[in-house]
Amino acid sequence: MEKYFERYLQSFSQLLNTLSPGTINRIFGSFAENIKNGQQIFVFGNGGSAMSMSHFATDMLKGAGDAIGKAVKIISLNDNMGLITAIGNDYSFEDVFVRQLKSLANPGDLVLTLSVSGDSPNLIKAVEWAKVKKIQTVALVGGKRGRLADIADLTLVIDSTHYGRVEDLHMMICHMISFGFIENPEILENSTFLE
């Protein structure tokens, strides 16, 4: 198994070296502007990506919010299982995120979704609705790209179809965003930092 782990780490390292700090900075800037303006952030995904979004929302609301001394109005749409199952049962699983957005989101808000395939119907439906309502959309996807890569305002592609490695890097990017605030608490007062 040591050879397997060595190959895993090598593949991860190769993917890591393809990431663009500029793209990550643009995504971070979107979050910074949103928080500075007191707007809402909605995050969601399926499976492992759902758990990553819950983790990210915790890091942002508690960690980043404490560091910058300003409320981070972030909600993981994955966290209310009663609501998800009610919407899925009464309407369809494709509606579990868009119906929540319809009740909660306003123009100028921000949505972030994670998807290895980029083609999950429930994510696509939510992002398409958000775009119509002038809500900024960010998608982190895998090498298949999928429809999400084409429709999101900002897209970051991890060029692999390996679920583990793509999800590893998606979560790392989420940590980069949250710790960008935690370790640079002056960021909202220093707009040149985003350049």
Q: What is the CATH number of the domain that holds 120?
A: 3.40.50.10490
Is residue 136 within 8 A of residue 153, CB to CB? The reply is: yes
Q: Is residue 143 part of a domain?
A: yes
For CA atoms 139, 25, 56, 39, give the dihedral sign.
negative
Q: What is the pTM of this model?
A: 0.95
pLDDT tens sequence across 53-105:
999 999 999 999 999 999 999 999 999 999 999 999 999 999 999 999 999 99
What backbone phi and psi angles, to 5 degrees, belong to 28?
-60, -45
pLDDT bucket at 191, cuts 50 / 70 / 90: low
Q: How many domains does the chain have?
A: 1
Looking at residue 91, what is its pLDDT? Answer: 98
Beta bridge partners of 42: 75, 111
Helix (H, G, I), strand (E, B) or coil at 190: coil
Are 35 and 191 within 8 A, CB to CB?
A: no
Please report whether residue 194 resides in a domain.
Answer: no
Domain that holds residue 144: 2-186
